[in-house]
Chain A
Amino acid sequence: MKKYLLPSIKLTIVLIVLFAVAYPLFIAAVAKFAPGKGDGVTVKKDGKVVGYALVGQNFTEDKYFWSRPSAANYNAASSAGSNKGPSNEDYLKTVQDRIDTFLVHNPGMKISDIPAELVTASGSGLDPDISPRAAEVQIPRIAKARNISEEKIKQLVKENTKGPLLGLFGPSTINVLQLNVALDGLK
C-alpha cells in the first residue's frame, strides 16, 4: 500500500487546488458578468430592495396575490418541504384548514374553484410562482380590497404571465413577488 500512499496524498492536494480553489473562483469571476453579478438578482420597489426575484415570499393580506403554502415560512435561510405523505390524515386536515381559510378570504368562490397548488406546500418552501389559474381565482378578492376593476388586474396578471419555454416546453408561471410589486404600482 505504501507504494500508492504518497502519490495518493500528493495527487489529492493538487486536485483540491484545482477543484476547490481555481474552479469556483473562475466561475465566480465569470458570474460577475451575469445578472445580479452572482450575488442573486434582487427586486426593488421605490429604490428599496424588497426581495430576491427567484425567492418566493409570504403574502397574507387580502390586497396581495398569495403565494403557495410553505413548510419553511418563506425563510430562505432554511428551505424545507413538508415531507408529508399523501395518505397522512393529519396532513389532509391541514389541507382542509387551508381550504377553509381560502374560502373565508375569497367569498363567492366554490371549493371546486381552488387549484390544489394553493392549498399544498411547495417542495422548497420558497416557490416564487403560481400558475395562471391560481392567480385568476384571487382576482375578485384583490379587486375588492384595492377598489380596482377586475379587468385591470386581469390585464396585469396577463402581462406578468411567463409562458412555456419557447412556447413549447414546460408550464406557464407567474412570479408572485413581481406581480405584487406591479400591483402596488397600479393607480
Chain B
Amino acid sequence: MERGARRALIVAVARDVIAHADELNRLDQAIGDGDHGTNVRRGFEAVLAEVDDLAGMSESGALAAAGMLLLNNVGGASGPLYGTLALSMARNLPGTTGISGWIEAFGLAIEDVKRRGKSEPGQKTLLDVLVPVHTSLVAGDDAAVARLASVAENAAEATRSMLAVRGRAAFLGQRSVGHVDPGARSASLIFGAIGRVLVEEFDGK
C-alpha cells in the first residue's frame, strides 16, 4: 500500500470513530459507564495528530505506533483491548506477505484480544465483530473486501440480542439484552472504514 493510501486509511478510520463518539457514549450509557465514545475519540484524535508520521512508517511500525497511542490515550478496558489488537498485528505481520499475511496476523491478534479480555465470541464484546470479519476475510473470495463494512455492521447489530458476560454490562445481567454493545459498534466503525477505503483503493487500480 502506498503512503497516500496508508494515510487515507488512518484518516478514514479515525474520523469515523470520532464522528460517532456521541452515539458510542449513548450505547455505553445504556449498559456501561457511558464513556466509550469519549475514550475512543481521545485515542483516535491522538492517532490523527500523528498521521503524517504514521503514514511514513512501515505497516508493522505504523500499527505498533498506533497501538501505543491507543493504549496511552483510550483508557478503560477498550484501551488495552484495541492496543493489544494493533500491537499483536504489528508483531505478527513481519514475515508474512500480501493480503493473506494481513489476515493471518489479524487472526493471531484476535487470539491475543481473547486472552487479554478473558472472553470468547458470543459474550457481547468487540470480539463479536472481530471474529465474523476475520471469518469473512478468510473465505477469501473476490467479494470479501467489498462486504467488509456490511459484515462488520451486521455483526455489531447482532450483539443486541446477546447477554453480556464481560465488562460493566455484565453487572446488568438480563437487562444488557436489547442493546448493541458499544465496543462491538466501535469495532464495526473501524472495519467499516477500512472496508470502504480498500474498495476505493482497489477500484482505482
Partners in one complex: no
Binding site for B on A (CB under 8 A): none
